Amino acid sequence: AKVQPGRSVWRSPSNLAIVKYWGKHGRQLPRNPSISFTLDRAYTETEVAYAPKKGADRGIALDFYFDGSPNEAFAKKVKAFLESITEIFPFLNQLDWTIRSTNSFPHSSGIASSASSMSALALCLCTIEDELFGTLSDDDTFRQKASYVARLGSGSASRSVYAGLALWGEMGEVPGSSDLYAIPMANQVHEVFKTYHDAILIVSKGEKSVSSRAGHGLMESNIYATNRYQQARQHMHDLLSALRTGDEDHFGRILESEALTLHALMMASNPPYILMQPHTITLINKVQAYRKETGHPLYFSLDAGPNLHLFFPDRIKEEVENFIHAELVPYCEDGRWIADKVGKGPLQL
């Protein structure tokens, strides 16, 4: 029977790693386990539509729209990714595809969209497979497959398919953990972390001078790599205990150490590079001074870029937001920051 046209739409969030994934091998396999908070307001919405194939060509037929307009650069990347997963989804070659994607955060706001976009795409493809072949699986199996597929698109995207906290990478002490996909950890954390906030301070919207892909690659020749992977495992072990017991200061110390280590590794790469900017450092100094003065557990993280992520519990939200407005906004590009928080995970639309 001829396939009827169909579609799948998912909204999937970005995430922020506490213990960072930095360094990979093989086919997107991590050199160390990582764990992240799934975000709420920073997300991608993706619609994947399919129809019977019109042309006779054997390859993937794809139209790609970003924010409503055809986007050749993105189309090329997505097509290459789809081509790389045809052994998982052979039907990709047999239909015509139209993909439309938008982000809740402005494009090139300095917020990485690979985690949200790749997880949204993976969720759509897994849903379509279920619909076409009736392989309807339970939610756990479905998410695990989506996480596996998302990982092949962008390692960090594997963690975006779950609510709250997600862990990716084999970790002896965590049953079920794997290098191939992420697993949910939300049930293994203290209540206080379930309503944590992440205020994203936009220091620069500009494109990064060195991509994550190149950054991972440079880890292969980084003279500190082995020690780093050991440290990440130790951090993960300590962090899991802090998350369980609700030890916010221990959590925060690991959070900041991971952020600064990530950037130290960049500076120690060959060739070395710096993604922090002067305002990144100013903001870090201000956050640490605020913590000293007030005793509030306000800690920062960084992604592979200059923007600062501030983590804090819900009970001090008002004080922290006042502090952001009074003292930090002047160091944000165009005064921009995003009040995000731990999110509920992807949503099928």
Task: Classify the C-alpha dihedral 123-125-129-132 as positive or negative.
Answer: positive
Give the residue carrying structure tokens 């870090």: 284
Question: What distance in Å separates the CA atoms of residue 92 and residue 149, rounded to the nearest whole number?
Answer: 14
Closest approach, Cβ 349 to ligand PMV, in A, equals: 24
The string of DSSP letters for 177-232 reads: --SSSEEE-GGGS-GGGGG-EEEEE-S--SPPSS-HHHHHHHHTT-TTHHHHHHHH
Q: Of 13, 110, 155, 252, which one interacts with ligand PMV (CB under 6 A)?
A: 155
Closest approach, Cβ 304 to ligand PMV, in A, equals: 4
Site string (165-194) toward ligand PMV, x via CB under 6 A: ------------------------------
| Listed residue (235, 223, 266) closest to 32, CA to CA | 235
Helix (H) or strand (E) holding 290: helix 278-294
Question: What distance in Å separates the CA atoms of residue 52 and residue 58, rounded to the nearest whole number?
Answer: 13
Nearer to ligand PMV by Cβ, of 10 and 21: the residue is 21
- Alpha carbon dihedral 132, 138, 139, 144, in 10-degree steps, equals -80
Residue type, 259: A
What is the radius of gyration, based on Cα positions, of the chain? 20
Burial of 94 (0-12, 13-18, 19+ CB in 10 A): middle
Closest approach, Cβ 212 to ligand PMV, in A, equals: 4
Nearer to ligand PMV by Cβ, of 34 and 127: the residue is 34
Question: What distance in Å separates the CA atoms of residue 162 and residue 195, rounded to the nearest whole number?
Answer: 15
Q: Of 156, 177, 178, 301, which one interacts with ligand PMV (CB under 6 A)?
A: 156
Q: By CB under 6 A, is residue 300 in contact with ligand PMV? A: no
The string of DSSP letters for 103-119 reads: ESS-TTSS---HHHHHH
Q: By CB under 6 A, is residue 212 in contact with ligand PMV? A: yes
User: Interface residues for ligand PMV in 237-296 (CB under 6 A)?
Assistant: 262
Closest approach, Cβ 43 to ligand PMV, in A, equals: 16
Q: By CB under 6 A, is residue 148 in contact with ligand PMV? A: no
Give the residue carrying structure tokens 């519990």: 313
Q: By CB under 6 A, is residue 222 in contact with ligand PMV? A: no
- Give how many residues touch ligand PMV by CB under 6 A: 14
Rounded alpha-carbon distances, angstroms, from residue 167 to 19, 73, 81, 109, 121 = 9, 31, 23, 26, 20
Q: By CB under 6 A, is residue 304 in contact with ligand PMV? A: yes
Per CB under 6 A, which region of 14-22, 86-94, 238-246, 332-340 contacts ligand PMV?
Answer: 14-22
Question: What distance in Å separates the CA atoms of residue 39 and residue 16, rounded to the nearest whole number?
Answer: 7
Nearer to ligand PMV by Cβ, of 49 and 201: the residue is 201
| Cβ neighbour number for residue 210 with a 10 Å cutoff | 16
Q: Of 10, 17, 147, 337, which one interacts with ligand PMV (CB under 6 A)?
A: 17
Nearer to ligand PMV by Cβ, of 85 and 132: the residue is 85
Nearer to ligand PMV by Cβ, of 110 and 155: the residue is 155
Helix (H) or strand (E) holding 299: strand 299-302
Q: By CB under 6 A, is residue 109 in contact with ligand PMV? A: no
Q: Of 40, 303, 333, 340, which one interacts with ligand PMV (CB under 6 A)?
A: 303
Nearer to ligand PMV by Cβ, of 48 and 259: the residue is 259
Nearer to ligand PMV by Cβ, of 303 and 340: the residue is 303
Q: By CB under 6 A, is residue 21 in contact with ligand PMV? A: yes
Q: Which residues bind ligand PMV (CB under 6 A)?
A: 17, 20-22, 34, 114, 154-156, 212, 216, 262, 303-304
